[in-house]
């Protein structure tokens, strides 16, 4: 059985307002559009996850909610994990390793640089700096999330918001 991991970097967010904290930053209008397009892409390519997990940051949670709306995933079932906000790769990997064995596909919404590092660690591929609103799809040829570790995954795709918009305009979509 193949386990599928989708990692989304939260969509574009605004700057921190005077007196507010980084965790409170909201998506911009452009970021909201990016999240809609990312969700539509996930739906169109039948990448619907069994589970969605997001950072507790407002911009990440908003991204997750917008994607959930596009793929008809129940918003109340999105799991918010406060550790993902400022997670190291080690913490992120622990969260993945603790996923229920019955979950075949999971979508995480998180932050750079951790999401980029995580994609590279798991696949051994160069992803670089994931753009806001971008998506990485990784497959693991294993039965348990506990087996996921460095270089055990296959990078299926890394797609940016610009590439997602181009995909929408292809004649076969």
| Angle in degrees, CA 112, 51, 55, rounded to 5 | 30
Read off the pTM. 0.94
For the beta carbon of residue 52, count every other beta carbon within 10 angstroms.
25
Is 90 exceeded by the pLDDT of residue 171?
Answer: no
Is 90 exceeded by the pLDDT of residue 34?
Answer: yes
Q: CA 1 → CA 25, 64, 118, 138, 169, distances in Å? A: 39, 26, 22, 14, 33
CA atoms of 80 and 23, how far apart (whole Å):
13
103-156 pLDDT per residue, tens = 999 999 999 999 999 999 999 999 999 999 999 999 999 999 999 999 999 999
| 114: nearest Cα among 127, 125, 105 | 127
Contact yes or no for 136/119 (Cβ under 8 A):
yes
> At which residue do the structure tokens 């992803």 appear?
127
Is 70 exceeded by the pLDDT of residue 79?
Answer: yes
Q: In a 3-state reduction of DSSP, which class is residue 50?
A: coil
């Amino acid at each position: 059985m193949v386990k599928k991991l989708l990692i989304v970097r939260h969509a574009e967010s605004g700057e921190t307002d005077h007196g507010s904290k980084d965790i409170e930053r909201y998506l911009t209008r452009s970021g909201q559009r990016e999240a809609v397009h990312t969700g539509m892409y996930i739906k169109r390519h039948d990448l619907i996850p069994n589970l969605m997990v997001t950072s507790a940051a407002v911009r990440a949670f908003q991204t997750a909610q917008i994607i959930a709306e596009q793929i008809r995933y129940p918003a109340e079932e999105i799991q918010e994990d406060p550790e993902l906000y400022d997670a190291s790769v080690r913490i992120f990997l622990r969260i993945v390793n603790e996923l229920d064995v019955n979950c075949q596909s999971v979508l995480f919404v998180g932050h750079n640089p951790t999401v980029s590092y995580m994609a590279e660690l798991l696949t051994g591929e160069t992803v670089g700096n994931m753009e806001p609103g971008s998506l990485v799809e990784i497959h693991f040829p294993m039965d348990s999330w506990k087996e996921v570790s460095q270089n055990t995954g296959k990078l299926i795709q890394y797609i940016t918001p610009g590439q997602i918009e181009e995909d929408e305009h292809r004649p076969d979509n």
